[in-house]
A and B are shown apart, each in its own frame.
Chain A
Amino acid sequence: MSDETTTPQPQSAALANDTMINHALKNEPSLAAEELFTVEGHSEETQYASFWVGAWRRFRRNRLAMFGLVFATIIILIAIFVPMLTPYEYDQIDMPAALQPPSHEHILGTDELGRDLLTRILYGSRPMLMVGVLTGLAGLCIGVPIGVLAGYLGGFFDWIVTRLIDMFSALPWYLIVLYLVMVLSPSLQNLMLAMIITGWVGSCRMMRGLTFSIREQDYIEAARALGIPTWRIIAFHILPQAAPLLLWGFAAGIPTSVFAEAGLSFLGMGIRPPRPSWGQMLADSEFYWQFWPHMFIFPSMMITTSVLAFQGIADGLRKALDVSENI
Chain B
Amino acid sequence: MLAYTLKRLGGILITLLLLSFFTFMLSRVVPGGPWMQGAEIPMSDQQVAAFKEKYGLDEPPWKQYLLWLRNAAKLDFGRTFTEPERTVTELIRDTLPFSALVGGLAATLAITFGVTLGVIAAAHQDTWTDNIATSYAVIIGTIPSFVLGFVMKYFLAAELRWFPAGSWGDPSNWRDVAWHLILPVVAFGLPATGSVARWTRQCVAEAMSSDYVRTAKAKGLRNTAVMTKHVLRNALIPMITSFLPLYPGMMTGSLFIEKVFGLPGLGKYFVYASTNRDYPLVLGITMFWAILIGLTYFLTDVLYGVIDPRVRITERQQ
Binding site for B on A (CB under 8 A): 1, 3, 5-6, 8-9, 11-12, 64, 163, 166-167, 170-172, 174-175, 178-186, 255, 259, 262-263, 266-269, 282-283, 285, 289-290, 293, 296-297, 300, 303-304, 307-308, 311-312, 315, 325-326
Tell whether, in the assembled complex, residue A1 and residue B135 are in contact, meaning their CB atoms are under 8 Å apart.
yes
Contact A9 B253, CB 8 Å, known A179-B23, A311-B141 = no
In the complex, A22→B209 CA distance in Å?
20
Tell whether, in the assembled complex, residue A182 and residue B147 are in contact, meaning their CB atoms are under 8 Å apart.
no
Residues of B within 8 A of A1 (CB): 130-131, 134-135, 138
* Chain B window 244-274, contacts with chain A (Cβ cutoff 8 Å), 1 for yes, 0 for no: 0000010011011001000000000011001
- 29 example contacts (A-B, Cβ-Cβ < 8 A) are as follows A1-B134, A3-B126, A5-B202, A6-B125, A6-B126, A8-B206, A167-B18, A170-B19, A170-B293, A171-B290, A172-B252, A172-B253, A172-B289, A179-B282, A179-B286, A182-B275, A263-B144, A263-B256, A268-B275, A269-B271, A269-B275, A285-B150, A293-B154, A300-B151, A303-B144, A307-B143, A308-B142, A325-B202, A326-B202
Task: Give the contacts of B146-181 with A (CB-CB under 8 A).
Answer: 146-147, 150-151, 153-154, 158, 165
Chain A nearest Cβ from B202, distance in angstroms = 6
Tell whether, in the assembled complex, residue A290 and residue B125 are in contact, meaning their CB atoms are under 8 Å apart.
no
In the complex, A285→B144 CA distance in Å?
17
Binding site for A on B (CB under 8 A): 11, 14-16, 18-19, 22-23, 26-27, 30, 32, 125-126, 130-131, 134-135, 138-139, 141-144, 146-147, 150-151, 153-154, 158, 165, 201-202, 205-206, 209-210, 249, 252-253, 255-256, 259, 270-271, 274-275, 277, 282, 286, 289-290, 293-294, 314
Contact A8 B293, CB 8 Å, known A1-B134, A300-B147 = no
Cβ 8 A contact of A166, one of B11, B134, B165: B11
In the complex, A290→B270 CA distance in Å?
27
Closest Cβ neighbor of B150 among chain A residues = A296
Tell whether, in the assembled complex, residue B205 and residue A6 are in contact, meaning their CB atoms are under 8 Å apart.
yes
Residues of B within 8 A of A182 (CB): 274-275, 277, 282
Grouping DSSP codes into helix (H, G, I), strand (E, B) and loop, the B interface class, with mixed when no group exceeds half, is helix
Chain A nearest Cβ from B29, distance in angstroms = 9
Chain A nearest Cβ from B216, distance in angstroms = 16
Closest Cβ neighbor of A255 among chain B residues = B142
Tell whether, in the assembled complex, residue A267 and residue B256 are in contact, meaning their CB atoms are under 8 Å apart.
yes
Chain B nearest Cβ from A57, distance in angstroms = 20
Residues of A within 8 A of B270 (CB): 175, 178
Tell whether, in the assembled complex, residue A163 and residue B15 are in contact, meaning their CB atoms are under 8 Å apart.
yes
Tell whether, in the assembled complex, residue A170 and residue B147 are in contact, meaning their CB atoms are under 8 Å apart.
no
Cβ 8 A contact of B255, one of A267, A290, A326: A267
Tell whether, in the assembled complex, residue A263 and residue B286 are in contact, meaning their CB atoms are under 8 Å apart.
no
Tell whether, in the assembled complex, residue A259 and residue B274 are in contact, meaning their CB atoms are under 8 Å apart.
no
Residues of B within 8 A of A266 (CB): 146, 256, 259
- A-B pairs with the 3 shortest C-beta distances? A8-B209, A182-B274, A308-B142
Cβ 8 A contact of B142, one of A8, A307, A325, A326: A307
Contact A267 B290, CB 8 Å, known A64-B138, A289-B153, A304-B144 = no
Cβ 8 A contact of A8, one of B23, B205, B271, B314: B205
In the complex, A326→B241 CA distance in Å?
13
In addition to A166-B11, A181-B274, 19 A-B residue pairs with Cβ atoms within 8 Å of each other are A1-B131, A3-B126, A5-B202, A5-B205, A8-B205, A9-B202, A11-B210, A167-B22, A171-B286, A171-B290, A178-B271, A179-B23, A179-B26, A180-B26, A282-B146, A289-B153, A290-B165, A307-B144, A308-B138
Cβ 8 A contact of A259, one of B130, B144, B154: B144
Contact A290 B158, CB 8 Å, known A263-B146, A304-B147 = yes
Residues of A within 8 A of B134 (CB): 1, 5
Which of A163, A182, A259, A263 is the most central at the interface, judged by chain B CB atoms within 10 Å of its CB?
A182
Tell whether, in the assembled complex, residue A163 and residue B18 are in contact, meaning their CB atoms are under 8 Å apart.
yes
Tell whether, in the assembled complex, residue B150 and residue A183 are in contact, meaning their CB atoms are under 8 Å apart.
no
Residues of B within 8 A of A289 (CB): 150, 153-154, 158
Chain B nearest Cβ from A251, distance in angstroms = 14
Tell whether, in the assembled complex, residue A170 and residue B294 are in contact, meaning their CB atoms are under 8 Å apart.
yes
Residues of A within 8 A of B14 (CB): 163, 166
Cβ 8 A contact of B147, one of A6, A293, A303: A303
In the complex, A1→B27 CA distance in Å?
48
In the complex, A315→B195 CA distance in Å?
13
Chain B nearest Cβ from A215, distance in angstroms = 17
Cβ 8 A contact of B206, one of A11, A282, A303: A11
Residues of B within 8 A of A186 (CB): 275
Tell whether, in the assembled complex, residue B142 and residue A304 are in contact, meaning their CB atoms are under 8 Å apart.
yes
Contact A262 B275, CB 8 Å, known A163-B15, A170-B19, A178-B270 = no
Cβ 8 A contact of A183, one of B11, B18, B30, B249: B30
Chain B nearest Cβ from A284, distance in angstroms = 12
Closest Cβ neighbor of B202 among chain A residues = A9
In the complex, A296→B148 CA distance in Å?
11
Tell whether, in the assembled complex, residue A290 and residue B252 are in contact, meaning their CB atoms are under 8 Å apart.
no
Residues of B within 8 A of A311 (CB): 138, 141-142
